[in-house]
Structure 1
Amino acid sequence: MAATEEEQRRRLVECFERAGLTLEQLWMRYFALGGDVGLLELDAYLNGVMVLPRVQRDMVAHAVNERLDELVGRNRVPYSSPVRQSRPARGPLAALVSLLEGAHRAPPERLPAIMDAAGETLDLRVGVYLADYAQCTLVPIGGTGRRPVPVENTPAGEAFQRGDLVVTDEQDGPRLWAALLDGVERLGVLEVAPTDGTDPRDPLLREQVRWLAYLFGHLVTITTQYGDGLDRARRREHRGPVTELLWSALPPFTVATESVTIAAAAEPADDLTSDVFDYALSESSVSFAVFDAGAGEPTAALSAVVALSAYRAARRDGLGLETQARAVDEAVAGLGNGAVRGVLGEFDVATGRVSYVVAGHPPLPLLLRQGKVAGPLAEGRAAPFGGGGRWTVAAEELRPGDVLVLYTDGIVAARDRQGAAFGFSGLAEVLEREVPDGLLPEAARRVTQAVLAHRAGALAEDATIVLLRPFGNEQASRWF
């Protein structure tokens, strides 16, 4: 329950005496929570001769409460049998219970109302926006009065691009815009307005909003697997059966562990015809693949999906890269629909070595080192899949900070009205500008957006990029 400023100070002094802390110990605990006033200012506040901002007062209060919890936790009287807490009515646990119970057997389109109920237990008003599949617009889900918001040049879009939280001051009160995540896959944003007067910069509130964003993102992904309500809202244009087939075969566009981050982007989002990619992460290794079945082939989508399926089957059987390549080759040859170009690879977490095979003439993998394109990895090229070739596995030693770049012809082949191609130089310029200081998924998005901005008319072929950063990602926000 909220208290007046003087009531809060008075109760703080009482609890501080019970906590058995010295002033210096209290200040250290407060400082560890992010407090930024000095020891003398804290002493003056406790004695009623100085006023502190609301956020700073609450951090001091939290420091004392943590100490009281420690004391009570050690000295509670035991019961003769375990006594469980009844269902909470307010607070983070109540919000968790509300989301989990509300989502049980709920269709996807009911999720925004479930989020509203969970937000009420935290004294928050919550709005949900999902990113369209082109990642250009944030589309409101549920509720009334909300309009689509561009990803570019808006606070909501900034939160989405940074994978973090942004605070704005509105006429009817402050707002928090928080990235909505399933793991590290960006799905949209939450618009959060405190209804109890809490300062939106309060670190505890920000932490609770982060929990909501994580859990709700998981629920969005899970429910989309058995219903079309949310998926339909994210589509801005019609998808034909070919594009539907390819999208259903793709994994999430962003994934990360402590040792690697992978981010991908593909355009045109509503009209893919020939490109697919895949990956698999474990404690010791990362497997990855990109396939391009050729824009002009009427059966390109089928060839791409068959190549992807054959690769997955061989990889999941624990087979090596050469055997994986042979399995893909045989599967594509069996269709009789033409060749498929592609790259297969594996990164060894312990050694830092990446092994790879290049089939046909897709653009060779690039290496971004110290923020600059160091050139393509020129070894390991062989015949396209489906042509009965033989493959040589090439290898490269990666270093912390390196980024491996896989991309298809559509990235460099896009042409402007004068006929000039986006080219390798255009790709290198965007990579060197966006990758070193940004989130990897945002860098991938900006590559494809730059390609779309360059081209005149429709893309001649799919433009897909996959970025792999080994050894973890120091540039990721703490939300990631």
Structure 2
Amino acid sequence: MGEKSVEQPEGFGERLLGLLLDRAQQMPPQLIAPLIAEEVARIGGRDVSILLQDYAQELLVPLPGRKLHVSQPQPVADSPAGRAFLRAQIVEVPQADVGVRMYLPLLDGSDQVGVMALTLDTVGDDDRRLLRRLAGLVADMLITKNAYTDQFFLARRREPMSVSAEIQWSLLPPLTMSLPQVVVAGNLEPAYRVAGDSFDYALNDNVLHMALIDAMGHGLDAAVMATVAIGAYRHARRVFISLAEKYVFMDDAISQQFGPDHFVTAQLMHLNIATGEMELVNAGHPAPLLIREGRVVRQLESATTLPVGFGGELPRVKEHTLQQGDRVLCYTDGIIEEHVAGGEPFGEERLIACVNRLGEAPSEGMRADLRRLSHTLKRERGGRTSDDATLFMIEWRGGAADHLAVLD
């Protein structure tokens, strides 16, 4: 394989991808990666590794398995594997002895699953084309098999995880969705102890539906309440049309299940990805921040609405219009209420200052930018996250809705 032959890579590609597709349905999870390693070895590839992102989004950890090369975890922030992961691009590193180490992002649609690494003696365009397609198929298989094995979860978990955190992670949609018209990315802290925070989204036709919630309390009680809130939201999203009706349905579900002393703060949005028109209901959350050209220009205010579960009146929906390239940053109160040195809350002004400072650097894509913001905020808070602290960002890019390319 390499630049010497044009026909061989394509023929091999058909055989390799066809073999994987033919056997995927009946293949047990533990045999996927060894099969890939075997096939790559037949054309000169070696030291195949599958690296998955840990739950704290700090490391890419090797998936153990027969015939796989298991190395040390690679930092997401500063490694070739991390660059491939964050930028969703192939990264090639020439080796001191012979060959090229290739790092290929594993993309399930537009969500980054991890990275596949391997070494080839020489690399040509045919190799890159085939391996990019192979990486896409591997990512799809990992997502499919993840539904009925704990193998991938255990590889990603770097420390003990609370029951409430297990519940919350099982609720989440993919952390990133990237389309030509819109990009979304979310992040949960503390990754291994999160309880009441969660988010959800869905793109139905031209409307992006989004919800960010924070259930009162801590531990398992908060996780159970968040589960009911997200379940009610999804049901309402699939039945009702208006944003106000979603709020009412969630409010009824929480009040009937938990009584008048329990509540969930929520932020609900509709974004028309063709026009940039946004509807917002804010039920007890800090107002989202509108970011334009890397700087916070204002808060997206909305009419006062009681938290979900208090039996509030039908909420008034606030309308906003985004410009192409605008970002909307939503966050839970754990971000700004954490106490820093001296005992004062971190506060919104510090949050805005961090966003503006990071916005001065070139963007590396939504997921990379949000991850960098999350870790910067944690450092600014002295490394403490005593309450759930969640970030969720939307970038509206606009443009025609018939593009087929996936961008980030």
User: What is the aligned partner in structure 1 of residue 335 from structure 2?
Assistant: 411
Give distance in 1, aligned partners of 2:148 and 2:331. 31
CA contact (8 A) 1:261 1:472 kept: no
User: What is the aligned partner in structure 2 of residue 98 from structure 1?
Assistant: 19
Give distance in 2, aligned partners of 1:90 and 1:479. 28
Query: 1:327, CA displacement in angstroms?
Result: 0.3
**Cα offsets for 1:193-240 (capped at 9, x unmatched):** 11xx423xx333222221122111111111010010111110011222
- Equivalent of residue 159 in structure 1, options 76, 84, 92: 84
User: What is the aligned partner in structure 2 of residue 322 from structure 1?
Assistant: 244
User: What is the aligned partner in structure 1 of residue 117 from structure 2?
Assistant: 191
Query: 1:479, CA displacement in angstroms?
Result: 6.7
Query: 1:273, CA displacement in angstroms?
Result: 0.7
Query: 1:267, CA displacement in angstroms?
Result: 1.0
- Equivalent of residue 169 in structure 1, options 83, 94, 101: 94
| 1:207 maps onto 2:133 in alignment | no
User: What is the aligned partner in structure 1 of residue 197 from structure 2?
Assistant: 275
Percent identity, please: 33
Give distance in 2, aligned partners of 1:118 and 1:333. 56
User: What is the aligned partner in structure 1 of residue 228 from structure 2?
Assistant: 306
SS of the residue aligned with 1:378?
Answer: coil
User: What is the aligned partner in structure 2 of residue 38 from structure 1?
Assistant: none
Does the C-alpha gap of structure 1 residues 98 and 122 become closer, same or farther in structure 2, counting only changes over 3 Å?
Answer: farther
User: What is the aligned partner in structure 2 of residue 116 from structure 1?
Assistant: 37
Q: Which amino acid aligns with 2:287?
A: L
Does the C-alpha gap of structure 1 residues 323 and 385 become closer, same or farther in structure 2, counting only changes over 3 Å?
Answer: same
**Cα offsets for 1:56-89 (capped at 9, x unmatched):** xx6xx86xx8xxxxxxxxxxxxxxxxxxxxxx99
CA contact (8 A) 1:132 1:234 kept: yes
- Equivalent of residue 428 in structure 1, options 326, 345, 352: 352
Query: 1:122, CA displacement in angstroms?
Result: 4.7
Does the C-alpha gap of structure 1 residues 458 and 106 become closer, same or farther in structure 2, counting only changes over 3 Å?
Answer: farther
User: What is the aligned partner in structure 2 of residue 369 from structure 1?
Assistant: 292
Give distance in 1, aligned partners of 2:105 and 2:10. 26
- Equivalent of residue 443 in structure 1, options 361, 365, 369: 369
SS of the residue aligned with 2:135?
Answer: helix
Query: 1:408, CA displacement in angstroms?
Result: 0.6
**Cα offsets for 1:330-381 (capped at 9, x unmatched):** 1111112511101011011333210010112x11111111221111111233
CA contact (8 A) 1:180 1:214 kept: yes
Query: 1:103, CA displacement in angstroms?
Result: 3.0
CA contact (8 A) 2:280 2:317 kept: yes
Q: Which amino acid aligns with 1:160?
A: F
Give distance in 1, aligned partners of 2:222 and 2:70. 43
Q: Which of the two has higher C-alpha Rg?
A: 1
SS of the residue aligned with 2:132?
Answer: helix
**Cα offsets for 1:421-445 (capped at 9, x unmatched):** 4432443344342586221111221
SS of the residue aligned with 2:310?
Answer: coil
| 1:260 maps onto 2:176 in alignment | no
Does the C-alpha gap of structure 1 residues 240 and 127 become closer, same or farther in structure 2, counting only changes over 3 Å?
Answer: same
CA contact (8 A) 2:236 2:249 kept: yes
Q: Which amino acid aligns with 1:240?
A: S
Give distance in 2, aligned partners of 1:378 and 1:122. 58
SS of the residue aligned with 2:193?
Answer: coil
| 1:358 maps onto 2:282 in alignment | yes
CA contact (8 A) 1:414 1:460 kept: yes
Give distance in 2, aligned partners of 1:426 and 1:118. 52
User: What is the aligned partner in structure 1 of residue 303 from structure 2?
Assistant: 380
Query: 1:319, CA displacement in angstroms?
Result: 2.7
Query: 1:457, CA displacement in angstroms?
Result: 5.8
Query: 1:404, CA displacement in angstroms?
Result: 1.2
Does the C-alpha gap of structure 1 residues 472 and 166 become closer, same or farther in structure 2, counting only changes over 3 Å?
Answer: farther
Does the C-alpha gap of structure 1 residues 158 and 421 become closer, same or farther in structure 2, counting only changes over 3 Å?
Answer: farther
Q: Which amino acid aligns with 1:178?
A: L
In structure 2, list runs of 5 or more residues that go unmatched: 400-404
1:332-347 superposed matches below 5 A: 332-334=254-256, 335-336=258-259, 338-347=262-271
Give distance in 2, aligned partners of 1:272 and 1:161. 23
SS of the residue aligned with 1:106?
Answer: coil
Query: 1:192, CA displacement in angstroms?
Result: 2.0
User: What is the aligned partner in structure 1 of residue 402 from structure 2?
Assistant: none
SS of the residue aligned with 2:291?
Answer: strand
Query: 1:418, CA displacement in angstroms?
Result: 4.0
Q: CA-atom RMSD, angstroms?
A: 2.5
Give distance in 1, aligned partners of 2:398 and 2:116. 27
- Equivalent of residue 54 in structure 2, options 106, 112, 132: 132
Does the C-alpha gap of structure 1 residues 176 and 479 become closer, same or farther in structure 2, counting only changes over 3 Å?
Answer: farther
CA contact (8 A) 2:49 2:70 kept: no
CA contact (8 A) 1:414 1:451 kept: no
User: What is the aligned partner in structure 2 of residue 147 from structure 1?
Assistant: 72
User: What is the aligned partner in structure 1 of residue 392 from structure 2?
Assistant: 466
Query: 1:253, CA displacement in angstroms?
Result: 0.6
CA contact (8 A) 1:295 1:461 kept: no
CA contact (8 A) 2:10 2:130 kept: no
Does the C-alpha gap of structure 1 residues 294 and 123 become closer, same or farther in structure 2, counting only changes over 3 Å?
Answer: same
Q: Which amino acid aligns with 2:276?
A: G
SS of the residue aligned with 2:385?
Answer: coil
User: What is the aligned partner in structure 1 of residue 147 from structure 2?
Assistant: 225
Q: Which amino acid aligns with 1:365?
A: P
**Cα offsets for 1:298-336 (capped at 9, x unmatched):** 622121111111111111013311111000111111112
CA contact (8 A) 1:257 1:472 kept: no
Instruction: Provide the TM-score with structure 2 as the length reference.
Output: 0.88
Give distance in 1, aligned partners of 2:90 and 2:407. 9
CA contact (8 A) 2:207 2:270 kept: yes
Give distance in 2, aligned partners of 1:122 and 1:357. 56
CA contact (8 A) 2:106 2:136 kept: yes
User: What is the aligned partner in structure 2 of residue 5 from structure 1?
Assistant: none
Query: 1:296, CA displacement in angstroms?
Result: 4.5
**Cα offsets for 1:430-467 (capped at 9, x unmatched):** 43425862211112212221233233464121111111
Number of residue pairs the alignment of both structures matches? 392
Give distance in 2, aligned partners of 1:192 and 1:479. 24
Does the C-alpha gap of structure 1 residues 107 and 355 become closer, same or farther in structure 2, counting only changes over 3 Å?
Answer: same
Query: 1:104, CA displacement in angstroms?
Result: 3.0
Instruction: Provide the TM-score with structure 1 as the length reference.
Output: 0.76
